Amino acid sequence: MDFLKRNAPAPIVWAALALAFVLFGFTFRGPRKQFWQRMTYTGAALGPIALAAQSQLRKTRFTWTDVILGLSSAGVLYAIFQVADRVTRKILPGGARDIDAIYGLDAYRPKQEIAARLAFIIGPAEELFWRGFIQERFMNAYGRIIGTGMATAAYGGAHLVAGNFTLIGAATVAGVFWGGMAMLGATPGTLIISHAFWDVFIFLIAPTQERQ
């Protein structure tokens, strides 16, 4: 505990984390029919906070290297989720129901609109906030490995309010994946492209498995 106190990041980090947990509760506990509007509002709040708090994020650019690494890493994560989907449906009671509940959200808004929300607001905002701001501050305070672990735990923990065990696990796995990339030096541009493309592809273009 002394280590955590001595190296604690600035109060703004904890305040932003507290707000993120509140906003995720607002997102996941409201009526399903307005889920995409609430998720967009959450992204529209957290993204600017990250940009205001981390000046280097305002210099984010997208190079061809970012595109290549972003798309290829999204493909790797998609393959991981293909396996995880099948395992979850077989070994976890209610796993298939939880997965289908997540994919069922696509019924509440036009798919083109959902894709735009994911690609241009939700995905980028999550990377700017959770990896570009929270993880970066934690790594600076506690070191790359501990900081990444703490940020990933916070990202997974923010999804607890969903009450969907499979979603919580999926968010944690994705957090470990993108957090590991950030720890190894992936740029915000790479992470944004990876997250945005993966969101749209796995949710709207090629879900891991047909809903039952």
Residue 8 lies in a domain: yes
| Mean pLDDT of the region 185-190 | 97
- Chain centroid, CA 164 distance in Å: 15
Instruction: Give how many domains the chain has, as a whole number.
Output: 1
> How far apart are the C-alpha atoms of 150 and 169, rounded to whole Å?
16
pLDDT digits (tens, 9 = 90+) for 51-97: 999 999 999 999 999 999 999 999 999 999 888 777 776 766 555 56
Question: Is 211 a domain residue?
Answer: no
- b/e code 142-154 from CB counts within 10 Å (16+ = b): beeeebbbbbbeb
Burial category of 67 from C-beta neighbours within 10 Å (exposed 0-12, middle 13-18, buried 19 and up): middle
What is the extent of the structural domain holding 41?
Answer: 2-205
Is residue 145 in some structural domain?
Answer: yes
Residue 14 lies in a domain: yes
Residue 210 lies in a domain: no
* pLDDT for position 178: 98
Residue 97 resides in a domain: yes
Answer yes or no: is 179 within a domain: yes
CA nearest to 133, candidates 51, 21, 23, 18: 51
Look at residue 49 and tell me whether its pLDDT is greater than 90: yes
Mean pLDDT of the chain: 89
pLDDT digits (tens, 9 = 90+) for 118-129: 999 999 999 999
C-alpha torsion sign, points 36, 41, 46, 47: positive
What token pair was written down for 195?
Answer: 């997250």
Within a domain: 82: yes
